[in-house]
Amino acid sequence: MTEPILSLSGIRADIAQYHILHGVDLVIPRGELTVLLGRNGAGKSTTLRTIMGLTTVTDGNVRYRDTDITGWPTPRIARSGIAFVPESMGIFGLLTVRENLILAAVNGPMDEARLDWIFALFPPLKTFWNRPAGNLSGGQKQMLAIARAVIEPRELLLVDEPTKGLAPAIINDLADAFEQLKSQQVSILLVEQNFNFSRRLGQSVAVMSDGAIVHAGSMAELADNADLQHELLGLALGAHQ
């Protein structure tokens, strides 16, 4: 395995008075796409939010590159090179597509070449450039959310269930985008329920249950082992295979 870009060890985290994560150990290899799977309520979103400094960590630590970032304020984590696309996408609906991207480019004016690359990946963003982002369709919003995360080069992307509720054609566009990011050596941690989508993209995989990681390994291994899938995910994948 390559040297990790991010590692969580023994992370315990609370939301309000509830203990949500009970000792998460997770290693994200550099330059790979890692999929985080798990049933509803397993703690996947909370794990991503914890990496971004959005929950209270009571124990354990988060290391990014060679630095312990546990307890850093969210903006500092973001500026150190981690982009986060939350489950809700977090689009600024009253801002235009353009304004959403202007803000996402924290280091100054947007790079034209990069913007062209984004337009090629997601043409609707060009079409609706000056429209309020709140008027975009669900799939277009997801495109914008991902575009925001990559408008400037970032080392690590955390993306929470990007395919939720989207039509197959758009899911394909998103998969293409992730493929391109992978080829640019961007490290990605992707939370997904759509196993076919994850299997297609993922190199590593981790499975969560009840606030802890219960399995970690290569995607190939999990993809080939229907029993393991059944055991970990309760997936009846026979029909798909």
Ligand X SMILES: Nc1ncnc2c1ncn2[C@@H]1O[C@H](COP(=O)(O)OP(=O)(O)OP(=O)(O)O)[C@@H](O)[C@H]1O
Phi, psi of 122 (to 5 degrees): -130, 80
Q: Does 73 bind other proteins (CB under 8 A)?
A: yes
Q: Does 69 bind other proteins (CB under 8 A)?
A: no
Q: Which stretch binds ligand X (CB under 6 A): 44-52, 65-73, 169-177, 179-187?
A: 44-52
Count the alpha carbons within 13 Å of 239 in the hemisphere toward its beta carbon: 3
**DSSP per-residue string spanning 109-169:** SPPHHHHHHHHHH-HHHHHTTTSBGGGS-HHHHHHHHHHHHHSS--SEEEEE-TTTT--HH
For the CB of residue 23, give the shortest distance to other proteins in the complex, in Å.
Answer: 25
Q: Does 15 bind ligand X (CB under 6 A)?
A: yes
Q: Does 4 bind ligand X (CB under 6 A)?
A: no
Pairing label, strands 204-209, 212-218 = antiparallel
Count, residues near ligand X per rule CB under 6 A: 13
Site for ligand X in 65-124 (CB under 6 A): 87
Of the residues 13, 24, 37, 45, which one makes contact with ligand X according to CB under 6 A: 45
Of the residues 4, 38, 139, 162, which one makes contact with ligand X according to CB under 6 A: 38
DSSP assigned state of 32? S
> Which spans of this chain sit near Mg ion (rule: CB under 5 A)?
45, 87
